[in-house]
Amino acid sequence: MRLTILHQDEHLVAIDKPPGLLTHRSFLDFHETRFAVQLLRDQLGRKVWPVHRLDKGTSGILLFAFSPEDCRALGEAFARQDVEKTYLAVVRGHPEESGEIDHPLSRQDDGDDGPPELGRNAEHGQAASASQDAVTRYRRLAAIELPIAVDRYPTSRYALVALAPLTGRRHQLRRHMKHIAHPIIGDSRYGKGRHNRMIQEHFGAHRLLLHCVETRFIHPFSGHPLVLRAPLSGDFAALVARWGWNDALPEAWHPPRTEG
């Protein structure tokens, strides 16, 4: 596997992490043999240090540094919440046009998610402790109602949302969307198994529909603004196109056009 590099300079490199790939080795996924950090080291022929992480099922922008010192400087920007991240997600139901979720979250263990097991909804195997402040802003970009019965309703509703985490808690976006009763499609831990299975069977989306599409911050060494973007691709992009949602996205977030 060759990783897509979005940006590289003497201090950092950003990749578009595919879904299903761990950021680094996890004791809960001890059977996994591929990790973004090792693949990138092999691809570039030099050591890299992960600045932050993405869940195994989440795709999109992931930052690495080329030295421990660079990693600390970038990590401090994340800790100060000086990094603006935007995610795209497909959720169950039709949330409000916009809103802010201010809901504290308990600490979670440092393991990562295993393979999707559709239908498993419980929060299990997690070490909880004192709650931490957690805030997420969201915007509804598009919505659809399908003539497909799920649960006790004759139709099923879904929406495309842009999510901006103002804090960086474990599984924050997934847990916050569950908290407001609009779980992310494809989420085996916090989502709804019946909806996950229906989307798989009818629309071929076999993944967590959560993608980090844009990241903005001031480069800690050059002092210049840096904007990174990772357009949608694969199952996620195909579903958005099929449901007629491409026009709801900024042009910079669209999948690259192919000729022919």
User: How many contiguous H segments (helices) and E segments (strands) does the chain have?
Assistant: 5, 12
CA distance 49 to 171: 21
Each residue of 9-44: b (16+ CB within 10 Å) or e? eebbbbbbbebbbbbeebeebeebeebbbebbeeee
Catalytic residue among 16, 55, 70, 112: 55
CA distance 186 to 188: 6
Pairing type for strands 59-65 and 210-218 reads: parallel
The position carrying tokens 């940006």 is 7
Classify residue 171 as left (phi > 0), alpha (psi -120 to 50) or beta: left
One-letter amino acid at 68 equals P
Residues 6 or more apart in contact with residue 194 via CB below 8 angstroms:
119, 150, 151
- Per the annotation, the verdict on 55 as an active-site residue is yes
Q: Integer distance in angstroms from the first to the last C-alpha of the chain?
A: 26
Contact present, 61 and 214 (Cβ < 8 Å)? yes
The token pair at 220 is 């800690």
User: Which of the residues are catalytic?
Assistant: 55
